[in-house]
Amino acid sequence: MKKKVAIIGVTGSVGQEFVVSLNNHPWFEIVQIAASNKSAGKKYLESIKDAGSGIINWHPASPIPEYVKDMTVDKVEDIKIDNIDLVFSSIESEAAREIESKFAKFVPVISTSSAYRYDEDVPILIPGINDEHVDLIDVQKKNRNWNGFVAPIPNCTTTGLAITLKPLYEQFGTNKVIMTSMQAISGAGRTPGVPAMDITDNIIPYIPNEEKKVRIETAKILGKINEGKINNANIKISCTCTRVPVIDGHTESVSIETSKPIDPTLVKKSYEEYFNDLNILSLPSAPPKYYEIHDEPTRPQPRIDREINDGMTTSIGRLEKEIIFDHGIKYVLFSHNKKMGSAKGAILLAELLYKKGKI
Ligand SMILES: NC(=O)c1ccc[n+]([C@@H]2O[C@H](COP(=O)([O-])OP(=O)(O)OC[C@H]3O[C@@H](n4cnc5c(N)ncnc54)[C@H](OP(=O)(O)O)[C@@H]3O)[C@@H](O)[C@H]2O)c1
């Protein structure tokens, strides 16, 4: 029997991707959807219409699935907890802190928000990258006396960085990372979102709180778990996060200093070996390839690469020795912020936790 799930924040950028990626899911069935009071009581199709213009604000690349159009959007407090096994939460982080804990007392909550990411007993999980951190969930349940738990995925800019750093960090040692991001508009969500007048023909060189999130989250994800605690990776990360006029997908220019000698051939081999050892590839939302390495110097590009394996593959190009370090490598990565970086990545995490018997 399928697990019954509720999506909260179902009208937003990430919520809409949950609706798409859970359509006909083999293990999960959406039984309730919720958003803020503004949307509550409306049919889904009505709830995503702009109140002033009546324009349907639908962001995914695929059409609105039929099954959801006539579902009624509930208030969060009207979710019938006895009728669900799992919650996917994609609400903005301030509201998420209180709301997610109300559910986590009873059922697992897989969250795309940052509300709990920085708590000591909460792992930030990327399937295939730090699966051993799943053990922290039992610590969290015990600490808080919860039957459920909160399992967040990272910020969408951290995701591509952590996925590409992991094999290199393990094999070559990574001391310093310099990263400049070129982040998509959809990463800012719908409310308030980024006004077209501000982003069209423009680059905004600052995204509030983003750089700190990337620094803290990357060190936590690459950290080691020991006796119920994560010891963060000892790695210095400097980042500059910018917003660019791209709809979906974050591009990041990365330079790293390593302890051991490194070059593009060794890096390619490292990704290949890491991929061959991954044991999450049988999960329904896992891509057939985790890494796509491009030799063509004009890749990756958002428009060409965002749909590869339904946005679940991280593309890497421009692999070159980084000459400012004794040992170092530089590359450009592309990661889909709403697929691997949020909704579908969160579903992949739920699948992993289901397989591990946590859901
Ligand atoms: N966008 C991305 O690429 C991305 C990637 C990774 C993580 N995230 C994180 O995921 C979360 C959602 O992001 P988003 O981009 O989807 O934001 P969004 O487009 O602004 O959507 C926010 C959603 O939260 C609902 N909401 C807001 N306040 C609420 C409340 N008090 N109670 C119940 N529902 C409430 C909204 O409902 P109404 O429509 O009714 O207002 C809407 O469904 C955020 O925490 C964000 O940081 C986003």
Ligand 1 neighbours (beta carbon < 6 A): 8-15, 35-36, 38-39, 76, 90-93, 95-96, 112-114, 156, 186-187, 189-191, 337-338, 341-342
Taking CA atoms only, the protein residue closest to ligand 1 atom 30 is: 36
Whether residues 128 and 80 fall in one domain: yes
103 CA to centre of own chain: 21
- Whether residue 250 lies in the annotated active site: yes
**Which CATH number covers residue 12?**
3.40.50.720
Task: Find the helix or strand (DSSP H, E) in which 150 lies.
Answer: strand 149-152
Whether residues 78 and 17 fall in one domain: yes
Whether residues 9 and 97 fall in one domain: yes
Whether residues 135 and 177 fall in one domain: no
- Whether residue 336 lies in the annotated active site: no
Nearest ligand 1 atom to alpha carbon 189: 15
The residues, any chain, with a CB within 8 Å of residue 106's CB and separated by 6 or more, are 81, 146, 147, 148
The Å distance, Cα 93 to ligand 1 centre, comes to 8
Which member of 133, 250, 294, 336 is catalytic? 250
Q: Among residues 137, 92, 139, 144, which one has the least CA distance to residue 115? A: 92
- Please list the pLDDT of the chain residue by residue as tens digits (359 residues): 999 999 999 999 999 999 999 999 999 999 999 999 999 999 999 999 988 889 999 999 999 999 999 999 999 999 999 999 999 999 988 899 999 999 999 999 999 999 999 999 999 999 999 999 999 999 999 999 999 999 999 999 999 999 999 999 999 999 999 999 999 999 999 888 999 999 999 999 999 999 999 999 999 999 999 999 999 999 999 999 999 999 999 999 999 999 999 999 999 999 999 999 998 989 999 999 999 999 999 999 999 999 999 999 999 999 999 999 999 999 999 999 999 999 999 999 999 999 999 99
| Cβ–Cβ under 8 Å, residues 348 and 163 | no
For residue 79, the enclosing domain spans 3-155+343-355
**What's the pLDDT at 191?**
82
**Is this prediction's pTM over 0.85?**
yes
Whether residues 189 and 273 fall in one domain: yes
Which member of 59, 156, 294, 336 is catalytic? 156
Task: Domain count for the chain, please give it.
Answer: 2
Compute CA distances 158 → 30, 35, 166, 176, 346, whole Å.
28, 26, 12, 15, 14
**Which CATH number covers residue 251?**
3.30.360.10
Taking CA atoms only, the protein residue closest to ligand 1 atom 40 is: 36
Whether residues 303 and 206 fall in one domain: yes
The Å distance, Cα 152 to ligand 1 centre, comes to 14
Nearest ligand 1 atom to alpha carbon 35: 34
Distance in angstroms (rounded) separating the CA atoms of residues 218 and 158: 6
**What's the pLDDT at 192?**
82
**What's the pLDDT at 52?**
86
| Cβ–Cβ under 8 Å, residues 16 and 341 | no
Taking CA atoms only, the protein residue closest to ligand 1 atom 2 is: 187
Whether residues 21 and 101 fall in one domain: yes
